[in-house]
A and B are shown apart, each in its own frame.
Chain A
Amino acid sequence: MRTIKEHEVTDKAVYLNRRQIIKAAGLSAIAGGFAASPAGSAELKRAETMGGQGPQWLRQRVSNASISNGSTSEALTPYEYVTGYNNFYEFGTDKSDPAENSSKFKSDPWSVEVGGECEVTGRFQLEDLLKGQDIEERIYRLRCVEAWSMVIPWIGFPLHKLLSRFKPTSRARYVKFETIYRPAEMPGQNAFFATLDYPYVEGLRMDEALHDLAFIAVGLYGEPLLAQNGAPLRLVVPWKYGFKSIKSIARITFQKHRPQSSWQKANSKEYGFFSNVNPKVSHPRWSQATERRLPSSLFSSNRIETLMFNGYADEVAHLYQGMNLRMNY
């Protein structure tokens, strides 16, 4: 585990203040930005470890993201944990593996293959996919099926603004996503006893995918995504368990039939297609009624009640009206 100061919290005010200083200084390069910012130890540590990840054009787009209103006002999870405590089995199954084993991963250049039940198909470069999109920040809760959660300031744009460009037809009832398959850069993909089949597959029903909350993230905390967070683009579906928020998207397919997600394939008794956060429906081996909000400290485990749809019930409950969520887990 990387060594972390116990009470290192990146306060939102500090984070926003720093971003304003970076913008005011007119610098998009990370190193230059940090020279002008309040040099707390957290920031310096980040400058050292990051050294300007991602191509220049992406860093610029991400650092110029507009701050959206209506984000949660809960305390943000510190950057070090967001980027150091990850489930990304393509890089290994320990929480520190993705950060430690992803140095070979190349997220630039990047293209996404789009096809299926839609009018516009083909292979698209990342820069083209982001052209004309308003990049904004959204602070979302992320609830892992393992019963821990974080609060993360993502940067990106709504998924429906991406999907609508491909003009899905009326036959498109589901959209399927796939992670890149690169065993040479992602050692976990050819592990002998890998729990999952690769490439990683996830899917959404079209109405879920077109909901404004469904988000394509290309950055967090003012910087482009690191490999361990799903560089260069990933999904964030905050009302579902975290494994639905597929990382490093390489392929998008519109389908008539429901895709089978990787976790469904690995263990369908425990992981269903919908995987909506639901405190009333236990995982077969543990309850989902509570979660640990990270970071916890030794004498306050930050155990909180899990909210229906991860607290996004007002926005998404209507999508599931009349559905038996115990059977459709």
Chain B
Amino acid sequence: MGLVVLLALPAINLLWQVSQALQGQLHSLGPDPGQQIVVELGQWALWLLLLVFSASPVRLWFGWRWLVIQRRVFGLAVFFYFALHITAYVVFLLELHFSEIIEDVLERPYITMGMMAATLLMPLALTSNNFSTRRLGRNWKRLHGLIYPAILLVIVHIIWIARSDLLEPLLYLLFVLLCFAGRSRRLLSVFKGR
């Protein structure tokens, strides 16, 4: 599907930059390439997660159903990017020294937040298929309610990692809060004057 290819493009680009870097050719990753890759993968995971999270309120308020219909594909793309994000962190920044993960988690609380968010999102990825929706029935919806705490943990993760420029993380927080509010049918009915 065209959408899958589109969603894969950022990853393909990064893969290209990595292969360039490994061959000693020109690349655009800068002097701290491992860091750059981890950050970019995280950014894509975040933007796609925000898109997924906005699907419901967007349908409610604007009647636009495309995001809800495509939500599973976007959700799996989120998983794809954050799985790569964590892999890149372990491979490039930790250089596969798994014992350092404990150190990092203890000394960098933003990593703890990230790990917790990833843990909550895993079952969502694993159950994003028809088999699961059939088997879990009503509980599927309940399970996928984990996106609420997960997305808040992600926001804390990026606020805590911000060196100095808090504008971007706070804008993401605002977006999430708007989506939270947007899910309220009561609010919607107030606005629509019903």
Question: Given that A285-B110, A295-B31, A297-B33 are known contacts, is A93 also in contact with B21, CB under 8 Å in the complex?
Answer: no
Instruction: State which of B25, B31, B108 has its C-beta within 8 Å of the C-beta of A296.
Output: B31
Interface size for A (C-beta < 8 A) is 39
Asked if B166 is at the interface (CB within 8 A of a chain A CB), the reply is: yes
Smallest CB gap from A5: residue in B: B26
Q: Are A295 and B95 neighbours in the complex by a CB distance under 8 Å?
A: no
Residue among B21, B160, B164, B165 making CB contact with A298, cutoff 8 Å: B21
Q: Is B138 an interface residue (CB 8 A)?
A: no
Query: With A and B bound together, what is the CA distance between A7 and B23 in angstroms?
Result: 10
Contact assessment for A4 and B92 in the assembled complex, using a CB-CB cutoff below 8 Å: no
Report which of B18, B26, B107, B164 forms a contact with A4, defined as CB distance below 8 A.
Answer: B26
Within the assembled complex, what's the spacing in Å between the Cα atoms of A267 and B159?
14
Given known pairs A193-B167, A286-B108, the reply for A85 and B31 (CB within 8 Å) is yes
Chain A residue with the shortest CB-CB distance to B24: A6
A4 and B30 contacting across the interface, CB-CB below 8 Å: yes
| A154 interface contact, C-beta 8 A | no
Q: How far is the CA of A287 from the CA of B18 in the complex (A)?
A: 28
Residues of B within 8 A of A266 (CB): 164
A300 to B21, CA, bound (A): 13
Is there a chain B Cβ closer than 8 Å to A320's Cβ? no
Q: Which residue of B lies closest to A301 (CB)?
A: B34
B1-41 residues with Cβ-Cβ distance < 8 A to A are 18, 20-37
Q: Which residues of chain A are within 8 angstroms of B123 by Cβ–Cβ distance? A: none
| Known contacts A81-B31, A296-B32: A301-B92 contact under CB 8 Å | yes
A5, A93, A95, A196: the one within 8 Å of B30 (CB)? A95
Q: Does A215 contact B (CB under 8 A)?
A: no
Question: What per-residue 1/0 map shows which CB atoms of A266-305 lie under 8 Å from chain B?
Answer: 1100000000000000100111010010111111110100
**How many whole Å from A244's CB to the nearest CB in chain B?**
15
Query: Given the interface contacts A93-B164, A298-B92, does A6 sit within 8 Å of B25 by beta carbon?
Result: yes
Tell me whether A3 is interfacial, beta carbon within 8 Å: yes
A74 at the interface (CB under 8 A from B): no
Q: Contact partner of A289 among B24, B26, B107, B161, CB < 8 A? A: B107
CB pair B95–A299 under 8 Å, yes or no, is yes
A182-217 interface with B by 8 A CB criterion? 193, 195-196
| Residues in chain A near residue B31, CB distance under 8 A | 4, 77-78, 81, 84-85, 294-296
CB pairs A–B below 8 angstroms (11 shown)? A4-B27, A6-B27, A78-B31, A81-B30, A85-B30, A96-B30, A267-B164, A286-B108, A286-B110, A294-B32, A296-B32
The interface of chain B, by Cβ under 8 A from chain A, is: 18, 20-37, 92-93, 95, 107-110, 160-161, 163-167
